[in-house]
Amino acid sequence: MGQQYALEFKESIVKRMLSPQNEYIPTLSRETGIPVDTLYTWRVKYRSRFMGAALLKDRETSSLSSEEKLSILLETMSLNEHELGEYCRQKGLYPEQIEAWKKTVLEGLGSLPEKTQREKVSQQAKTIRQLESELLRKEKALAEAATLLMLKKKVDALLEEKEVGRSMGSPVRK
């Protein structure tokens, strides 16, 4: 089993890894004799326990504009993990922040077709409503025309019966 370290000692080392000191972890590992993986684990646990996602989110959105974030994304796109760590230490950022910004940009780019698709579906729904309304209007007009035609036939039939009755020579009263 690995060596156990006092909580105060761990916290002092973790503080050296975080802002504002941002000491390089491999250098810190050589200085203290603590394995690099252990230091990274301590830092991750500390961030998740004490800083929380809300604090990181607050810090990232309050201090940098969208243009600055995009500029940082472009600058760091070709960097490897080591170079990214150096860059983040110099700028007072966390690699997790840059990754979150990248994810946000990619989601935003992916949503453009979805937005276009929603607009297309909305337009199609509007067209369908208009066509249904027009169909209903035409069905009513057709029913009215059929009713009028039927009434005309009945009137013609009644008039024909009266004419037939007169031509047969019904007696005329005086």
pLDDT in tens, 71-125: 899 989 898 888 888 888 888 888 888 888 888 888 777 665 677 788 888 999 9
Maximum C-alpha span of the chain: 140
Q: Kindly report whether the global pTM for this prediction surpasses the value 0.75.
A: no
d(CA 23, CA 89): 8
Instruction: Give the start-end residues of each E strand in the chain.
Output: none
pLDDT tens, residue by residue, 33-74: 999 999 888 888 887 776 555 455 545 445 788 888 888 999
The pLDDT of residue 103: 86
Dihedral Cα 144, 149, 154, 158, nearest 10 deg: 130
